[in-house]
């Protein structure tokens, strides 16, 4: 087994979009085109079940949003595709940001009728900071949508990335007739409801078929001016600029009609980069190193009711994972056995025997693995860059039946470790506070506490409105600050000291009065970082 070859074959990416742009539909279609599934959840069957094969949790079915991120691995054209789904709803953006730390590139889906929407802007900011290469798919051309030039301008203006059209649409809505492939000057003609197994008719200028040639001329004449303009006005596609996140190739299509999906699939195999190095505090780790390293970017409890355990999702960063190997957790220095490691394709869990950099493996465990944990063959390593955001909304929980307190505590501990919610314990009190970035997180937690832990709760308002992790180079000063602010001090689930404020001005005054205390909006795993405070 040549590790270099294996690494080169991998493409690990996330699909990102604003909710409803068509992320789930495109994910299914990519899997379908790659041959990983036989029947996509067509509109009809999706309506019947109300959720896609990549959505797991009950609450997603009820609300029709992707709460949990999921992972899918498929083999296509001698490549291994690791596709990471992300929750589209902004209330779960923390989860999405963490998923973005585990990918080498991203596929952005835009609803052509709505253009760039708020959630896409936030996600793209994270991608830009990480210099993630992005391919753009502008979806729903079968509808009356925005002018394609306006869409390109929106991408450039709002997302600050050069948009290079690889295809160009001919018409839209009822008169959508297909796309021109800019590089080849070929037209792929559109048929609504096209089958995956039926390739679109390809029309070219000087083909051997007269009828096709005539049709080409007819369609091409409709966009000739546009195409001339594009060729003149857009810069040449530059792979280096793409890899550094400065240029994005743009495709137009209609995921639901299987149109444009093949082109995106082929382009991401050709252009997305294989796994690259991963920075750690101690050193940079390269994917084709012999020894295994990986980190936990996501934890999910109770993913499958028939396995009442937690799965830690691990991005392999280097070496070869072999089932059964013993791995060391850098944080605790403890070993973990890997006999039951699983890979993912939707709900089906498959046991895996081997994995390489770029792959995602799942280790079922009962809480020994936490978000950000690094696994190695013995080396002490700490990768950087896994963010935790200071919560923006706070609530307390009250158990309806006091006899279920134990279930509540177990549930909160596990959901906190999973990152579904942040749990704080107030200093010198037993009160537990919940912190979230979005309101919906509380609803999900209440729902999961009830259904997964049998703990029915009321979620109640509290006086705090913001939190900052605090640190100081001077321990004496830090302890003094804690002692004089006991009613505003709490500890997060890892024991990090947190300052809770009831207003912006309270925070401001505390900052001004205590210049030797640092207040952090973002913390990295187990380590407070002010460097990325501007995110
Ligand atoms: P998301 O994961 O980004 O939230 O979006 P999702 O794929 O669920 O798609 C959102 C809606 O857009 C769905 O309709 C879906 O069928 C529709 N859609 C996706 N691709 C296209 C396309 O190319 N053209 C058109 N016209 N519609 C598209 P829905 O009515 O909300 O859900 P459903 O009842 O169809 O499941």
Residue 500, domain CATH: 3.30.70.3280
The predicted model gives 24-46 an average pLDDT of 67
Residue 282 included in any domain: yes
Nearest to 330 by CA among 304, 297, 296: 296
Q: Which residue's C-alpha comes closest to atom 18 of ligand 1? A: 22
pLDDT band at residue 485 under the 50/70/90 scheme: very high
Check whether residue 368 and residue 395 sit in a common domain: no
**Nearest residue to 28 (alpha-carbon basis) of 11, 9, 46:** 46
Per-residue confidence (pLDDT) for residue 534, from 0 to 100: 34
Query: What is the widest separation between alpha-carbon atoms in the chain?
Result: 86
Does residue 79 fall inside a structural domain? no
Which ligand 1 atom is the nearest neighbour of the CA of 50?
36
In a domain, 124, yes or no: yes
Residue 67: per-residue pLDDT = 45
Q: Which of 256, 257, 258, 260 to mutate to test the pocket of ligand 1 (most atoms within 8 A of CB)?
A: 256
Residue 42 CA to ligand 1 center (angstroms) comes to: 10
3-state secondary structure 130-146: HCCCEEEEEECCCCCCC
Q: Do 339 and 410 fall within a single domain?
A: no
Q: What is the pLDDT of residue 379?
A: 95
Query: What's the 181 CA to ligand 1 centre distance in angstroms?
Result: 25
Per-residue pLDDT band for 415 (boundaries 50, 70, 90) equals confident
The reply to whether 141 sits in an annotated binding site is: yes
The number of the ligand 1 atom at minimal distance from the alpha carbon of 109 is 3
Element (H, E) at 443: helix 439-453
Q: Is 430 one of the annotated binding-site residues?
A: no
Tokens 């205390």 belong to residue: 517
Query: Is 335 annotated to bind ligand?
Result: no
Confidence of residue 345 (pLDDT cuts 50, 70, 90): low
Q: Are residues 195 and 52 in the same domain?
A: yes
Last residue of a domain, one of 271, 299, 316: 271
* SS3 category, 121: helix
From 25, 28, 174, 254, the mutation candidate for ligand 1 (largest count of ligand atoms within 8 A of CB) is 25
Q: How many CA atoms lie within 13 A of 382 on its CB side?
A: 9
Among the residue ranges 104-113, 121-130, 498-507, the one predicted with the least confidence is 121-130
Instruction: Give the count of beta carbons closer than 10 Å to the beta carbon of residue 410.
Output: 16
Distance of alpha carbon 29 from alpha carbon 35, whole angstroms: 10
55 is in an annotated binding site: no
pLDDT(121) > 90: no
Question: Exposed, middle or buried by CB within 10 Å (0-12, 13-18, 19+), for 261?
Answer: buried
| Per-residue model confidence (pLDDT) at position 450 | 92
Taking the centre of ligand 1 as the mean of its atom positions, its distance from the CA of residue 46, in whole angstroms, is 10
β 522-524/202-203 pair status: unpaired
Interstrand relation of 105-111 and 134-139 (parallel, antiparallel or unpaired): parallel
Q: What is the pLDDT of residue 113?
A: 96
Distance CA 181, CA 179 (A): 6
pLDDT at residue 57, as a whole number: 54
Q: What pLDDT sits at residue 52?
A: 47
Structural domain of residue 61, as residue ranges?
Answer: 3-74+91-271
Domain boundary, last residue among 346, 376, 406: 376
Task: Provide mean pLDDT across the span 254-277.
Answer: 94
Nearest protein Cα to ligand 1, atom 25: 140
Q: Is 372 labelled a binding residue?
A: no
| Element at 297 (helix H, strand E) | strand 293-301
444/519 same-domain check: yes
Q: Which residues of 210-238 are buried (b: 16+ CB within 10 A; e: fewer)?
A: eebeebbeebbeebeebeeebeeebeebe
Output the pLDDT for position 136: 97
Within this chain, do residues 153 and 264 fall inside the same structural domain, yes or no?
A: yes
> What confidence tier does 211 reach under pLDDT thresholds 50, 70, 90?
confident
Of 17, 21, 22, best ligand 1 pocket probe by most atoms within 8 Å of the beta carbon: 22
The yes-or-no verdict on residue 95 having pLDDT over 90 is no
Whether the per-residue pLDDT at 40 is higher than 60: the answer is: no
Nearest CA to ligand 1 atom 16: 43
Q: Output the pLDDT for position 196.
A: 63
Nearby residues of 17 by Cβ (< 8 Å), 6 or more positions away: 23, 88, 108, 109, 110, 111, 119, 120
Domain annotation covers residue 381: no
Instruction: Check residue 205 and give its pLDDT.
Output: 80
Q: How far is the CA of 26 from the centre of ligand 1 (A)?
A: 9
Please report the atom of ligand 1 found closest to the CA of residue 46.
Answer: 36
Going by the DSSP 8-state scheme, the letter that residue 191 receives in this structure is -
More confident residue, 332 or 532: 332
By most ligand atoms within 8 Å of CB, the mutation choice from 15, 20, 70 for ligand 1 is 20
Q: Average pLDDT of 456-468?
A: 95
User: 397 and 343 share a domain?
Assistant: no
Q: Residue 234, annotated ligand binder?
A: no
Indicate the range of 79-88, 189-198, 308-317, 389-398 predicted with least confidence. Answer: 189-198
Q: How far is the CA of 255 from the centre of ligand 1 (A)?
A: 9
40 or 284, higher pLDDT? 284
169 is in an annotated binding site: no
- Surface-to-core class of residue 113, CB atoms within 10 Å of its CB (0-12 exposed, 13-18 middle, 19+ buried): middle
Tell me whether residue 84 is in a domain: no
Between residues 44 and 14, which one has the greater pLDDT? 14
User: Residue 53: pLDDT band by 50, 70, 90 thresholds?
Assistant: very low
Ligand 1: residue whose CA is nearest its atom 24: 140
In this predicted structure, the answer to whether residue 44 has a pLDDT above a threshold of 60 is no
Residue 70 counted as an annotated binding residue: no
Distances in Å between the Cα of 99 and the Cα atoms of 68, 296, 464, 521 are 11, 10, 29, 19
Tell how far the Cα of 151 is from the centroid of ligand 1, in angstroms. Answer: 19
Note whether 230 and 288 are same-domain residues.
no
Cut 0.85: pTM above it: no
Is residue 86 one of the residues assigned to a domain?
no
CA of 219 to the centre of ligand 1 (A): 28
Same domain, yes or no: 478 and 408: yes
Question: How many domains are contained in the chain?
Answer: 3
> What CATH number is given to the structural domain containing 148?
3.40.50.300
The answer to whether residues 514 and 465 belong to one domain is yes
Q: What are phi and psi of 212, to 5 degrees?
A: -60, -40
Predicted confidence at residue 50, as pLDDT, reads 39
Ligand 1 site, CB within 6 A: 17, 19-25, 43, 46-47, 88, 139-140, 142-143, 254-257
| pLDDT for position 127 | 84
What's the mean pLDDT in 326-344? 88
Neighbour-count burial for 162-187, b at 16+ CB within 10 Å, e otherwise: bbbbbbbbbebeeebbbbbbbeeebb
Are 313 and 424 part of one and the same domain? no
301 labelled ligand-binding = no
Q: What percent of the chain has pLDDT over 90?
A: 52
Q: Is there a single domain that holds both residue 257 and residue 300?
A: no
What are the pLDDT digits (tens) for 54-92?
444 555 555 444 444 478 888 899 999 999 887 656 666
**What's CA 292's distance to the chain center, in Å?**
24
In order of 168, 429, 479, 484, the CA distances from 489 in angstroms are 56, 10, 11, 10
Q: What is the mean pLDDT of the chain?
A: 85
Share of the chain above pLDDT 70, in %: 86
Cα 15 to ligand 1 centre (Å): 15
Residue 416 is predicted with a pLDDT of: 84
Residue 59 lies in a domain: yes
> Of the candidates 25, 15, 89, which has an alpha carbon nearest to the alpha carbon of residue 52?
25
- Classify residue 142: in a domain, yes or no: yes
Question: What's the pLDDT at 47?
Answer: 35
Q: Which residue has the higher pLDDT, 39 or 227?
A: 227
Which tokens belong to 49? 């079940």
- pLDDT for residue 347: 42
Tell me: do 326 and 257 sit in the same domain.
Answer: no
The verdict on whether residue 25 carries a ligand-binding annotation is no
Residue in the block written with tokens 């939707």: 346
Q: Is 399 helix (H, G, I), strand (E, B) or coil?
A: strand
Question: CB–CB of 58/451 below 8 Å?
Answer: yes
Least confident of 52-66, 214-228, 406-420: 52-66
168 alpha carbon – ligand 1 mean position (Å): 22
**Residue written as token pair 């906190």:** 416
Of 244, 271, 298, which marks where a domain is finished?
A: 271
Centroid of ligand 1 to alpha carbon of 25 (angstroms) = 6
pLDDT at 105: 96
Q: Strand, coil or helix: what is 141?
A: coil
- Say which residue, 395 or 331, is predicted with more confidence: 395
Does residue 313 contact residue 362 with C-beta atoms inside 8 Å? yes
């Amino acid at each position: 087994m040549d590790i270099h070859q294996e690494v080169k074959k991998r493409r690990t990416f996330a699909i990102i979009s604003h909710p409803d742009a068509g992320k789930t539909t495109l994910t299914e279609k990519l899997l379908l085109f790659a041959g990983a599934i036989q029947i996509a959840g067509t509109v009809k069957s999706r309506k019947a079940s109300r959720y896609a094969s990549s959505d797991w949790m009950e609450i997603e079915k009820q609300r029709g949003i992707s709460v949990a991120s999921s992972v899918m691995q498929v083999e296509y054209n001698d490549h291994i595709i690791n596709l990471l789904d992300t929750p589209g709803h902004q209330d779960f953006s923390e989860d999405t940001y963490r998923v973005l730390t585990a990918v080498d590139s991203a596929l952005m889906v835009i609803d052509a009728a709505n253009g760039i929407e708020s959630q896409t802007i936030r996600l793209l900011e994270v991608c830009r900071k990480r210099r993630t290469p992005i391919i753009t798919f502008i979806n729903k051309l079968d509808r009356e949508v925005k002018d394609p030039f306006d869409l390109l301008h929106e991408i450039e203006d709002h997302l600050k990335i050069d948009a290079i059209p690889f295809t160009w649409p001919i018409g839209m809505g009822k008169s959508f007739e297909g796309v021109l492939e800019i590089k080849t000057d070929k037209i792929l003609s559109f048929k609504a409801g096209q089958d995956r197994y039926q390739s679109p008719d390809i029309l070219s200028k000087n083909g051997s078929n007269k009828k096709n040639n005539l049709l080409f001329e007819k369609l091409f004449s409709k966009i000739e001016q546009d195409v001339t303009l594009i060729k003149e006005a857009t810069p040449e596609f530059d792979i280096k600029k793409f890899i550094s996140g400065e240029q994005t190739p743009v495709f137009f299509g209609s995921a639901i009609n299987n149109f444009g999906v093949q082109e995106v699939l082929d382009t991401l195999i050709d252009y997305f980069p294989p796994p690259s190095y991963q920075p750690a505090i101690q050193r940079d780790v390269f994917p084709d190193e012999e020894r295994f390293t990986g980190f936990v970017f996501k934890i999910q409890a109770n993913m499958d009711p028939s396995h009442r355990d937690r799965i830690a999702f691990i991005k392999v960063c280097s070496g070869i994972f072999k089932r059964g190997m013993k791995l060391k957790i850098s944080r605790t220095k403890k070993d973990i056995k890997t006999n039951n490691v699983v890979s993912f394709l939707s709900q089906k869990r498959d046991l895996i025997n081997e994995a390489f950099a770029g792959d995602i493996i799942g280790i079922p465990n009962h809480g020994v693995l936490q978000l950000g944990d690094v696994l190695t063959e013995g080396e002490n390593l700490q990768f950087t860059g896994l963010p935790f955001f200071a919560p923006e909304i706070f609530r307390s929980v009250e158990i309806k039946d006091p006899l279920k307190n134990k279930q509540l505590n177990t549930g909160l501990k596990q959901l906190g470790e999973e990152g579904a919610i942040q749990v704080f314990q107030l200093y010198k009190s037993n009160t537990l506070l919940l912190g979230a970035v979005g309101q919906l997180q509380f609803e999900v937690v209440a729902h999961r506490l009830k259904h997964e832990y049998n703990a029915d709760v009321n979620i109640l308002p509290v006086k705090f409105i913001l939190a900052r992790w605090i640190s100081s180079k001077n321990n004496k000063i830090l302890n003094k600050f804690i002692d004089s602010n006991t009613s505003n001090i709490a500890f997060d689930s890892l024991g990090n000291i947190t300052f809770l404020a009831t207003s912006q001005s309270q925070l401001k005054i505390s900052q001004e009065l205590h210049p030797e205390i640092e207040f952090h909006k973002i913390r990295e795993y187990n380590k407070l970082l002010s460097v990325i405070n501007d995110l």
